[in-house]
Amino acid sequence: MIKAVAFDGDGTLYEGKKSIEEVRKVIEWLGERGISCYVASNTSSVDKIALYDRIGGIIDVENIYTAVDIMIEYIKEKGISVYPIGSNYIKERLANEGIEIVENADAVCVSHTKELNYGSFKKAMEILLNGGDLLAANADRYYVGENGLLPGTGIIVRALSENFLVKARVFGKPSPDMLNRIIEKEGIRKEELLMVGDMEETDIGAAKSAGCKSLLIENNIPQLVRVTADWKVNRESLMDAIKSIVGS
Amino acid sequence: MIKAVAFDGDGTLYEGKKSIEEVRKVIEWLGERGISCYVASNTSSVDKIALYDRIGGIIDVENIYTAVDIMIEYIKEKGISVYPIGSNYIKERLANEGIEIVENADAVCVSHTKELNYGSFKKAMEILLNGGDLLAANADRYYVGENGLLPGTGIIVRALSENFLVKARVFGKPSPDMLNRIIEKEGIRKEELLMVGDMEETDIGAAKSAGCKSLLIENNIPQLVRVTADWKVNRESLMDAIKSIVGS
């Protein structure tokens, strides 16, 4: 029996900056039945408040998990310094959290940015060849932007990890980190959590690694890595599928 | 019996823009004994004329092989269009060779550049997801610049190949392409060619894959991928080693 549902953000709850109507109705329906809804998002461009606004406040802020929050929690827990490759949002966020940002850091910390920079790769190389860690908010291969597919954080993560032969610690899906937090917070068994998303590798992959149930919303996004979901639907049939899975 | 010797360029024949005296003497000694000397260089920043100048003309231009020449030969033979990610040198070189350069190309063609650009990665992604090929002058993880280690072409190659799950066709070492040309030109057996270089993965790796003999000049450059050479020496003992391998 499903007792909580986690939704992917981009492509599932919203597209570009617009929330998706079908999913909104599903969340209302679940709420009426006392089933908790969560967001488990790989985004490293916005914080949970911005996500809350983007989804029209349909899921409470305290039920929104982002890969960046988990990564920041880890960095603070370890008490390490970082050299960030990412957007200004992340750099400010890390600084505001009191995390030490230096060039000669304990770890390279990667998140999404469109500002690729050879000098950053050189500094990251020096840290990694010196035995530093490689942390990544996510390793998304691509994402759907307002004008189609765009390269994701994965290009930076894999440039570093594969070129310098260092394993990256990835906090976003398909890592089970966010789903494990939800299971723990709800105090439910793992198979009582349903993950709903549109990317097989990350959304369904995270569900598999956490041991949850999974539902794939099929669309036209290329799936480079195939992972089979427990259920598959198109967006129009989402409500019917949820009713049959959760039980009306 | 060794009948020809191929030398790596950067770090073996020259450092920065300066040719290395010890190797120069070895080449003279080999020349006096009628043993052909070659350059097999992964460089994608300069052409063979510039390399010839850099090594003070000690090896004939027609005995200088670069990864880019082999890559250009391949592109012309296949008659394909390319989208280049690389320096202005390469872009001009491709254009001068009459190769069609377009955004919607048959292949992405990667060589060294310090100008990383998100827009280029996006265009490359579109070509690769559309089934285009990934060609790379080399996949060097790093190289020794005038002020220490710098990230190599490998960061771009691996960002694309590993993120979009496309196998790169790499023309430089450790591919045996350049060494095979030398063996063919000399009309010798593969074990009669000796490869001399300072990088295990590329120089010694190429010798292994071509089936040649190999000599590693040991230095302080990190070797991320270990490949065991037939002989190892430091630069100061290079002449003695060559004398004992080739036979005085």
Q: In the CATH hierarchy, which fold is given to the domain comprising A79-170?
A: Rossmann fold (3.40.50)
B83 burial type by CB count under 10 A (0-12 exposed, 13-18 middle, 19+ buried)? buried
Query: Which segment, A55-64, B10-19, B143-152, is predicted with the most confidence on average?
Result: A55-64
Residue A248's pLDDT is what? 65
On whether any CB of chain B is under 8 Å from the CB of A130, the answer is: no
Cα dist from A8 to A11, A134, A205, B28, B128, whole Å: 8, 25, 12, 66, 26
**Tell me, what's the ipTM?**
0.95
Instruction: Tell me the shortest Cα–Cα distance from B162 to chain A, in angstroms.
Output: 6
Distance (Å, whole) CA A140 – CA A1: 31
On whether any CB of chain B is under 8 Å from the CB of A155, the answer is: yes
A146 has pLDDT over 80 = no
Block residue for tokens 């390490």: A80
Chain A residue closest to B117 (CA)? Answer: A116
Contact across the interface for B154 and A163, Cβ inside 8 Å: yes
Residue A229's pLDDT is what? 98
Chain A residue closest to B120 (CA)? Answer: A151
Percent of chain B's residues with pLDDT above 90: 90
Find chain A residues with C-beta within 8 A of B200's C-beta: none
How many Cβ atoms from other residues are within 10 Å of residue A187's Cβ?
A: 9
Chain B residue closest to A121 (CA)? Answer: B151
On whether any CB of chain A is under 8 Å from the CB of B87, the answer is: no
- SS3 state of residue A146: coil
On whether any CB of chain B is under 8 Å from the CB of A160, the answer is: yes
B74 has pLDDT over 70 = yes
Closest to B77 measured CA to CA, from B36, B53, B48, B107: B107
B105 has pLDDT over 70 = yes
Contact across the interface for B159 and A156, Cβ inside 8 Å: yes
pLDDT bucket at B144, cuts 50 / 70 / 90: confident
C-beta of residue B7 within 8 angstroms of C-beta of residue B28: no
CB pairs under 8 A between A and B: 67
Encode pLDDT of B199-239 as tens digits.
999 999 999 999 999 999 999 889 999 999 999 999 999 99
Block residue for tokens 């060559």: B242
Calculate the average pLDDT of chain B. Answer: 96
Encode pLDDT of A149-187 as tens digits.
999 999 999 999 999 999 999 999 999 999 999 999 999
Instruction: Find the CB nearest A224 among B152, B158, B164.
Output: B164
Task: Average the pLDDT over B133-151 and give the result.
Answer: 93
How many Cβ atoms from other residues are within 10 Å of residue B22's Cβ?
A: 13
The three-state (H, E, C) secondary structure of A85-131, written as one string: ECCHHHHHHHHHCCCCECCCCCEEEECCCCCCCHHHHHHHHHHHHCC
On whether any CB of chain A is under 8 Å from the CB of B127, the answer is: no
Give me the residues of B, 192-231, that contact A with CB < 8 A.
222, 224-225
Task: Average the pLDDT over A13-23 and give the result.
Answer: 84
Dig out the tokens for A229 from the structure: 């979901």
A5 has pLDDT over 90 = yes
Count Cα neighbours of A33 within 13 Å in the Cβ-side half-sphere. 17
Contact across the interface for A118 and B116, Cβ inside 8 Å: yes
Residue B248's pLDDT is what? 64
Instruction: Find the CB nearest B125 among A116, A149, A165.
Output: A149
The three-state (H, E, C) secondary structure of B108-159, written as one string: EEECCCCCCCHHHHHHHHHHHHCCCEEEECCCCCEEEECCEEEECCHHHHHH
Residue A18's pLDDT is what? 79
A67 has pLDDT over 90 = yes
Distance (Å, whole) CA A144 – CA A163: 26
On whether any CB of chain A is under 8 Å from the CB of B155, the answer is: yes
Residue B17's pLDDT is what? 75
Encode pLDDT of B3-48 as tens digits.
999 999 988 999 877 788 889 999 999 999 999 999 999 999 889 9
Residue A16's pLDDT is what? 75
Tell me, yes or no, if the two domains B4-42+173-246 and B78-170 fold the same way: yes
Chain B residue closest to A115 (CA)? Answer: B118
Dig out the tokens for B172 from the structure: 């430089």
Distance (Å, whole) CA A136 – CA A44: 10
Chain A residue closest to B129 (CA)? Answer: A222
Dig out the tokens for B98 from the structure: 């009459």
Residue A17's pLDDT is what? 75
Dig out the tokens for B191 from the structure: 């074990």
Contact across the interface for A165 and B225, Cβ inside 8 Å: yes
Instruction: Tell me the shortest Cα–Cα distance from A55 to chain B, in angstroms.
Output: 28
Contact across the interface for B158 and A162, Cβ inside 8 Å: yes
Instruction: Tell me the shortest Cα–Cα distance from B153 to chain A, in angstroms.
Output: 9
- Per DSSP, helices labelled H in A12-115 are 21-32, 48-54, 67-78, 88-96
Instruction: Tell me the shortest Cα–Cα distance from A136 to chain B, in angstroms.
Output: 14
Find chain B residues with C-beta within 8 A of A141's C-beta: 163-164
B167 has pLDDT over 70 = yes
Closest to A85 measured CA to CA, from A118, A110, A114: A110
pLDDT bucket at B60, cuts 50 / 70 / 90: very high
Distance (Å, whole) CA B207 – CA B196: 9
Q: Which helix (H) or strand (E) holds B194?
A: strand B193-197
Contact across the interface for B118 and A116, Cβ inside 8 Å: yes
Instruction: Tell me the shortest Cα–Cα distance from A87 to chain B, in angstroms.
Output: 13
How many Cβ atoms from other residues are within 10 Å of residue A225's Cβ?
A: 13
Encode pLDDT of A81-121 as tens digits.
999 999 999 999 999 999 999 999 999 999 999 999 999 99
Encode pLDDT of A33-50 as tens digits.
999 999 999 999 889 999
- SS3 state of residue A139: coil
CATH architecture classification, B4-42+173-246? 3-Layer(aba) Sandwich (3.40)
Q: CATH number of B78-170: 3.20.20.140, 2.30.250.10, 1.20.120.140, 3.40.50.1000?
A: 3.40.50.1000
What residue spans define the domains of chain B? 4-42+173-246, 78-170
